[in-house]
Amino acid sequence: MIPRSADWKNALATAVRDPAELIALLDLPRDLLTPARRAATQFPLRVPRGYLARMRRGDPDDPLLRQVLPLDAEGRPAPGFLPDPVGDADAAVQPGVLQKYAGRVLLVATGACAVHCRYCFRRHFPYDESEPARGRWDEALEGVAGDPTIHEVILSGGDPLALDDGRLGRLVAAVECIPHVERLRIHSRLPVVLPERVDDGLLEWLGSGRLRKVMVIHANHPRELDATVADAAGRLARAGVVLLNQTVLLRGVNDDPEALCELSERLFAIGVLPYYLHLLDRVAGAAHFEVTADRTAMLLEAMRCNLPGYLVPRVVRERAGAGYKLPFEPHAVHD
């Protein structure tokens, strides 16, 4: 039997990268190919085959497909849509280290991802300049150790779980040695798009040590949560990991009340608490995903009417320079 660790690395390595293959595998209209190739020259296509298998064949409007299919719309300029909409550059305190909020510091562990979501707020992020070399983590962690106000270290990317367990384990072990750090938070889409990643090696270091472990996964639609994702979530929960989900509100993907309510119900059924419903970060290339404020207000009201309060995610927007996520106020003007 092939070890699970080899399974996830093979699945990552064999992800679909060619728009022609994606269109052929899903029996999609051929007129999607030329624009997909054009858009993929700016932000490459990447989608694991297991995630692709959850999509409906022959349906260009499938909500999972829309998240990964390159479109000509990505090349159309839109006012207010910027390469760095959330102020990552201004928040960088050194290469690969961002600090936006009190008590927390974020490490950009890698620029690699298992899937290239077309709305990604870091699709223009300069990973080559910002990702620390191996030796630079010592400097970053020295900065954390010298600031007793930091109680939480966040691993982000890219996707930190795209790294192997050896590198991640060494990094986390170094964080464990900083007495005033109490929590480790990991933001990852891999348990959803590549659930094979939740293997024994990952669970071994996640389930050990003194730090409280929190994993924020990223699911946008209930059809993403199949039996393999449920199994991965169950394994993480049994290892003692607190599981939260954040969703991005996306036009044509999940901007209807039935999808959002079903997503919250399904998340809770597999042991994940709905946490944030993010308004779209206004990154250049993603304007076609934006949902209007009026429709957002309607969706929030529908969730409040149909779900218990603990299953209604907080609807928020990130704004560059703000000290916290800004709550969506239905009657306020959001520029």
Distance CA 111, CA 109 (A): 7
Are the C-beta atoms of residues 43 and 123 closer than 8 Å to each other?
Answer: yes
Distance CA 288, CA 73 (A): 7
Distance CA 118, CA 287 (A): 10
What tens digit of pLDDT does each residue of 44-56 get? 999 999 999 999 9
In the block, residue with structure tokens 């290469």: 95
The encoded tokens of residue 132 equal 């620390």
Are the C-beta atoms of residues 44 and 111 closer than 8 Å to each other?
Answer: no
What tens digit of pLDDT does each residue of 258-304 get? 999 999 999 999 999 999 999 999 999 999 999 999 999 999 999 99
Please give the model's pTM, rounded to 2 decimal places. Answer: 0.93
Q: Residue 107 belongs to what H/E stretch?
A: strand 104-110
pLDDT at 42 over 90: yes
